[in-house]
């Protein structure tokens, strides 16, 4: 059962965050998080603009590129043509990679197959506390998992300043799903992160998310029903709804296709997100080496982000929605 929550889960979460947060960044806002009495699993509330964004040359690059910082402003920024905001090579890693490092390390230390099979009379319960892998202040994570004879499972994870690859996590999450009892591989998974905070150096952000994954489909299908992220440095809160994507794990790299989804920026409003070419992320790289993301706003206005290589990208903007990209940043370096 170790395969349930190891590489597939960590990559699914990181891939989802990578693409759903493509629009985080830019502008000033008084939008902050607050407690929500309407949800028992969420304490972050999006209160920014809910109007459809107008994409133009002044915000198109911000909306389409800052996401790879995932609202993680301490990642550092650079400028291209006065418009593009992008991470610098010397800053903290983007949010999706920070989360991936923590989740993969925590679950990689638990061998679920050693607990034995469940029976009709009783589910198998696995409780584990695992230590972080940072030399200083590694922290710990506590996992509790129960699975039944019919292949359904549920569990919780609590991060206690758990540190992996220089990223520290605090907070809790829960998950449910189903497995193949023959080979203990995952079939379906639903995941909830509830106010989980991540920090690396001076960078800090907090996430609430609900997502589901179908591993019986080829490639894996993921649906991000809701995601709210707060940049703890700026107080900005961003939201994603109903993002549908496929994730192909090719071993040494991932390919991600976004079918549909909606991203809310607190200053600009919402845009719809889709890929026109698959995003490719090599295991050894920080940034995608290929792929095209298009974000669409009001009146058909849009920005097109092309990953040229793992170190280069370009942004084009069609502000009037006529199908012609009149602004082109040219090839830029992350």
**Rounded to two decimals, what is the model's pTM?**
0.80
Tell whether the model's pLDDT for residue 79 goes beyond 80.
Answer: no
What are 260-278's pLDDT values in tens digits? 988 888 999 999 989 999 9
Query: How is residue 216 written in tokens?
Result: 């019986």
Higher pLDDT, 255 or 43: 255
> What pLDDT shows up at residue 322?
97
Q: Which residues pair with 141 in a beta bridge?
A: 130, 159
| Of 296, 213, 241, 271, residue with least CA distance to 15 | 213
How much is the mean pLDDT over the chain?
78
Please report, rounded to a whole number, the percentage of residues in the chain having pLDDT higher than 90.
32
Q: Using CA atoms, how far apart are residues 142 and 200, in angstroms rounded to an integer?
A: 21
Least confident span in 170-174, 228-232, 300-304:
228-232
What are 279-333's pLDDT values in tens digits? 998 888 877 899 999 999 999 999 999 999 999 999 999 999 999 999 999 998 8
251 class by beta-carbon count within 10 Å (0-12 exposed, 13-18 middle, 19+ buried): exposed
Can you give the residue range of the structural domain that contains 325?
2-333
What are 148-169's pLDDT values in tens digits? 888 898 999 999 999 998 899 9
Phi, psi of 63 (to 5 degrees): -65, -35
Q: Using CA atoms, how far apart are residues 98 and 101, in angstroms rounded to an integer?
A: 5
> What pLDDT shows up at residue 116?
67
> What pLDDT shows up at residue 5?
47
Helix axes 95-108, 7-20, angle to 10 degrees: 170
Residues 218-222: contacts with CB under 8 Å, at least 24 apart: 219/246, 219/247, 219/248, 219/249, 219/255, 220/8, 220/12, 220/246, 220/247, 220/248, 220/249, 221/245, 221/246, 221/247, 222/12, 222/15, 222/16, 222/246, 222/247
> What pLDDT shows up at residue 65?
67
Number of domains in the chain: 1
Higher pLDDT, 80 or 273: 273
CA-angle at 280, arms to 277 and 283, nearest 5°: 175
> For the chain, first and last CA: distance in Å?
39
Residue 61 — pLDDT band, cuts 50, 70, 90?
confident
Please report, rounded to a whole number, the percentage of residues in the chain having pLDDT higher than 70.
74
What are 115-147's pLDDT values in tens digits? 666 666 678 888 989 999 999 999 999 999 888
The answer to whether the beta carbons of residues 141 and 162 sit under 8 Å apart is: yes
The answer to whether the beta carbons of residues 68 and 94 sit under 8 Å apart is: yes
The answer to whether the beta carbons of residues 312 and 331 sit under 8 Å apart is: yes
């Amino acid at each position: 059962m170790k395969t349930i929550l190891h590489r597939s889960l960590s990559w699914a979460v990181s891939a989802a965050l990578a693409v759903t947060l493509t629009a985080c960044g830019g502008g000033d806002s008084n939008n902050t998080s607050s407690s929500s009495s309407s949800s028992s699993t969420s304490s972050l509330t999006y209160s920014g603009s809910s109007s459809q964004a107008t994409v133009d040359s002044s915000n198109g690059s911000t909306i389409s590129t800052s996401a790879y910082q995932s609202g993680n402003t301490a990642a550092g920024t650079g400028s291209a043509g006065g418009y593009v905001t992008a991470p610098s090579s010397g800053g903290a890693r983007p949010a999706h990679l920070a989360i991936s490092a923590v989740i993969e390390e925590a679950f990689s230390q638990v061998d679920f197959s050693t607990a034995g099979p469940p029976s009709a009379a009783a589910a198998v319960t696995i409780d584990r506390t695992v230590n972080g892998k940072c030399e200083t202040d590694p922290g710990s994570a506590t996992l509790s998992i129960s699975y039944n004879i019919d292949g359904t499972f549920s569990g919780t994870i609590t991060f206690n300043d758990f540190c992996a690859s220089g990223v520290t996590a605090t907070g809790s999450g829960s998950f449910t799903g189903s497995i193949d009892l023959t080979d203990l591989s995952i079939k379906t998974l639903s995941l909830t992160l509830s106010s989980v905070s991540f920090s690396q150096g001076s960078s800090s952000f907090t996430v609430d998310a609900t997502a589901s994954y179908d591993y019986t489909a080829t490639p894996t299908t993921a649906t991000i029903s809701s995601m709210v992220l707060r940049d703890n440095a700026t107080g900005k809160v961003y939201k994603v709804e109903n993002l549908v994507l496929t994730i192909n794990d090719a071993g040494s790299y991932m390919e991600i296709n976004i079918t549909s989804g909606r991203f809310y920026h607190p200053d600009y409003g919402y845009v719809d997100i889709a890929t026109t070419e698959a995003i490719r992320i090599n295991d050894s790289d920080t940034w995608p080496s290929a792929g095209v993301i298009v974000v669409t706003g009001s009146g058909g206005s849009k920005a097109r982000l092309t990953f040229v290589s793992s170190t280069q990208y370009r942004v084009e903007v069609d502000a009037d929605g006529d199908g012609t990209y009149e602004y082109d940043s040219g090839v830029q370096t992350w």
